[in-house]
Chains A and B, each alone.
Chain A
């Protein structure tokens, strides 16, 4: 370009007030953009990952290539074991339960082929991450307040060998089967389990970790497969009055350069992310790493629950897979069977 041509271009751009856009274009030319110049975050993403929320206290955030490879191989081996054929003439499982722990409830749950928990550790900044949590720097969720400890009598108790043999998996305190309202929100088909819709949006380490983003002039919509929740982030808007509470909180968004910053508060008192209260406050930051990947970062705070705020991040890689309908309540045989089962057990115990 000649000097006069350059000068003319600069004048035109200045007149259009597009100087900021020009700067960011040259810095991140590979990311797709909306017509208004903001990054295009749209797409369908599969968040499944082996990276857990927390890591061993004080261990490194970054896995070496060898560590990651070894762990991923182990995970792949578990899949192969789970998919391996059984003997043709097997017998019924053991009387009294098969010893499987946790939610598998001593009855063995179901086969591995139903699962899709992910096969890789999440990669950001060229690092394979050992945890989603990046702050506190030791990789652990901060201590809960004494208030929270008292409030959350639903805390998971370690199971003893004795308790494993009991019919009740021992993960839940007494009374957990008394009413439908005491069951987990996922079991009631009110919200997906493991904060799959959040916020904060987390991998659930089981299946159906797909999410879709659709972006319009005044909204960003995030669809979570379970339970077909469409969270609408109202751009450049005000929060709802405090009397209006929402299952996923009330989300408002704004652009900070090329980062979408979403502020969510006004949760219901039933949402209770990790035992938190309706005063949970989540700030999320979405930005594009490249045309295929969104970086998702979140900061969580609730002074009534944690002694300080905490932050995590992981990658959302795009997928060509489709999100399918997850109608949950419509065929929720399990909830009725669980409650009925508890009533029968009580009758038996009385005898």
Chain B
């Protein structure tokens, strides 16, 4: 009996070890599935992230999972919300499409007063969304706006150029120390964790939003991004958001980025600053345009 028990224990342990070992043998990225993709290397042996990438998502409208909505600026109608007067002429073009969201766990963990501020942001969207003024989009919003961005990676340098507003990010491979002032796009310092590029972003101002739904942050924002090639034309993007002034705990977003495969794929000029001059300065023209 005792021998049988011991053998059973031994057998169980062996089985457990075997299970552990086989689990360890599988690459972390795909346990229980096909082996992880191994990206081609740059000459210095790092996964090659070069290329033009773009997210395929509605997250720029609202990073949380959401139903379609009549517009980004709403007014109360007799039977529910309607497009506010300034956006009414856009009709369905101005409506908000539904989205499955990119927030892991579904909801952003706002502190109560921050949640109230988000509601205020939504009510005052036209005045407050920095995208309307073509302000620099910040991180992570720049990643999942529906426009391409290009990664330049050589030995010794990594650089991101975004088509939207010509935003740029220098991804330092050597930590230059704390950022001396706040900035819109933050200061990015990167290192490799196996085949994942981990980018630590600090030094943000409090002026960017996460989307068009009023989701915001303070200047305590700290973003940790993870870029991993998961296929010939797919780059997995995850970002951890920390901001103790705004949220009750850190939270994560994740969204795949796809390679732009068109033969003539390239970033073109999207200097929207020019397009918002009439909105911002039109009243100061010598002859302001008529408000037809």
Interfacial residues, chain A to chain B (CB-CB below 8 A): 34-35, 42, 175, 177-181, 188-190, 212, 214-219, 221, 223, 227-230, 232, 234, 244, 246-247, 322-325, 327, 329-330, 335-336, 339-340, 342-343, 346
A216 touches B153 (CB 8 A): yes
| 20 A-B pairs in the complex with CB atoms less than 8 angstroms apart | A42-B156, A178-B285, A178-B287, A179-B286, A181-B277, A212-B159, A214-B154, A216-B153, A219-B152, A223-B159, A228-B168, A230-B159, A230-B166, A232-B267, A246-B268, A247-B269, A323-B170, A329-B273, A330-B207, A336-B281
Chain B residues within an 8 Å CB radius of A181: 277
On whether the beta carbons of B185 and A325 are closer than 8 Å, the reply is yes
- The answer to whether A217 touches B285, judged by C-beta atoms less than 8 angstroms apart, is no
Residues of B with C-beta under 8 A to A216: 50, 152-154
Is the Cβ of B159 less than 8 Å from the Cβ of A339? no
Name which residue of chain B comes closest to A220, CB basis: B152
Chain A residue nearest to B169 (CB atoms) is: A325
CA gap between A181 and B277 in the complex, in Å: 8
Confirm or deny: B189 has a beta carbon within 8 angstroms of a beta carbon on chain A: no
Rounded to whole angstroms, the CA-CA distance of A324 and B284 in the bound complex is 32
Q: Are B269 and A330 in contact (CB under 8 A)?
A: no
Q: Does B183 contact A (CB under 8 A)?
A: yes
B134 contacts across to A, CB distance below 8 A? 329
* Beta-carbon contact of A180 and B154 below 8 Å: no
Give CA–CA (A34, B155) in the complex, Å.
9
A112 to B159, CA, bound (A): 33
Q: Please, which residues of chain B bring their CB within 8 A of the CB of A336?
A: 280-281, 284
Interface size for chain B: under 10, 10 to 19, 20 to 34, or 35 or more residues? 35 or more
> In the complex, what distance in Å separates the CA atom of A160 from the CA atom of B284?
30
- CB < 8 Å A-B pair total: 101
Instruction: Specify which of B155, B159, B284 is in contact with A221 (CB 8 Å cutoff).
Output: B159
Q: Which residue of B lies closest to A241 (CB)?
A: B264
Q: Which residues from A are CB-within-8-Å of B26?
A: none
Q: Is B184 an interface residue, CB under 8 A from the partner?
A: yes
Partner of A327, one of B136, B161, B274: B136
Q: Indicate if the CB atoms of B287 and A212 lie closer than 8 Å.
A: no
B291 at the interface (CB under 8 A from A): no
Chain B residues near A217 (CB-CB < 8 A) = 50
- Which chain A residue lies CB-closest to B207? A330
CB neighbours (8 Å) of A244 from chain B are: 268
Bound together, the chains give a CA A342 to CA B185 distance in angstroms of: 34
Q: Which residues of B contact A214 (CB under 8 A)?
A: 152, 154, 157-159
Q: Judge whether B176 is part of the interface by a CB distance below 8 angstroms.
A: yes
**List of A residues within 8 angstroms of B124 by Cβ:** none
A228-B166, A325-B183, A336-B280 as given contacts; A179 in contact with B285, CB under 8 Å:
yes
Known: A216-B154, A217-B50. A343 touches B266 (CB 8 A): no
3 tightest Cβ-Cβ pairs between the two chains A and B: A35-B43, A339-B284, A178-B286
